[in-house]
Amino acid sequence: MGKIAFLFAGQGAQTVGMGKDLQENEGVKQVYDIAEKVTKMDIRKMSFEGPEDVLKQTKNTQPAIVTMELAILEMLNENGIKSDMSAGLSLGEYCALVDSKALSIEDALSIVQKRGEYMQDLCPKGQWSMAAILGIDDKTVEEACKKVTKGFATPANYNCPGQVAISGDKEGIDEAMKIAKELGAKRVVELKTSGPFHTEKLEEASKALKDFIQNKQINNTSKTVIKNIDAKPYRKEDDIKDILAKHVMSPTRMSDSIKYMIDNGADTFVEIGPGKTLTTFVKKINREVTCININDKESLDKAINQLKEIQNEEER
């Protein structure tokens, strides 16, 4: 029996207009209404009209992306489509926890709003940068970062085999990119980013988030959710609040998370949210699995039909 895995996109995938053509559906409207009531933000205006420089601010991006993804999740659930397991890239993990009934929509949005604020406002001052290193293995990327003599660079996102994003200050990233090239990297690409996310520089944001999460209700997961922090499923004995707080200053391990899901029977991956980044990662790991993207009304309608067929075949 094959399994359906939901993957929820993370920050960086946002685009002005995202979620707009989904609004004719009542379930989608309700999720946006809840989001605007909880956050007291005009999420529709930011998402649908921008401007882009407002939407891309971390404190705005995070609730906007999560609202869109939870609205799509609501539509899938309304149509009887459920996941067997789920994961999300960084921010997307909160949607995976809602999918597994560990978090309510309201609490997820409330936490994500604060998470975005803390990651933006409690980020130490400095010239921060990120870069994607392509074409060498994880160990070689780690080695390149360790060889940096000026500034600071460290792996932040283990995306898929041969693709790791590193984070640090401008000087450290520039040097790490140069060293990575010398060690055989096929390409190095500087990324547009606003902070040293998923590194120890976010310690203050991590502590503030932990304090904020303490009074929130988080239950055990009702199905398999793969954690970014170690690419393993949440277990009953895990302190989810502590893990979510550490999450902002620890590397994301999407590559190993996807491998774990495939090894445990996932053969249909549904990427939920703007962009198609996670689908690219899945295809780099295994071309045999089915990948479905949902990022607008047309792709949602198509996905519902395709997933209903897959579920019907499984039941036969």
Is position 198 annotated as part of the catalytic site? Answer: yes
Q: Are 4 and 83 in contact (CB under 8 A)?
A: yes
Lookup result for tokens 């055990």: 220
Q: Which two tokens stand for residue 242?
A: 């502590």
Q: Which residue in 147, 192, 135 sits closest to 167, CA to CA?
A: 192
Interatomic CA distance for residues 47 and 63, integer angstroms? 10
Contact 202, 120 (CB under 8 A): no
> What 8-state DSSP symbol labels residue 22?
G
- Rounded CA gap, 101 and 224, in Å? 11
Residue 55, classed as helix, strand or coil, is helix
- CA 15 – CA 29 distance, rounded (Å): 19
User: Which of the residues 90, 100, 250, 257 is marked catalytic?
Assistant: 90
Amino acid present at 36: E
Q: What is the DSSP secondary-structure string of 203-272?
A: HHHHHHHHHHHTTS--PPPSSEEB-TTTSSB--TT--HHHHHHHHTTS-EEHHHHHHHHHHTTEEEEEEE
Catalytic (active site) residue 247: no
**Given 198, 250, 255, 257, the catalytic residue:** 198
DSSP state letter for 273 = S
Packed helices 277-285 and 254-263: angle between N→C axes, nearest 10 degrees? 60
Cβ pair 214, 162 in contact under 8 A: no
Token representation of residue 132: 């994607």
Task: State the sign of the Cα–Cα–Cα–Cα dihedral 26, 28, 32, 38.
Answer: positive
Residues tagged active-site: 90, 198
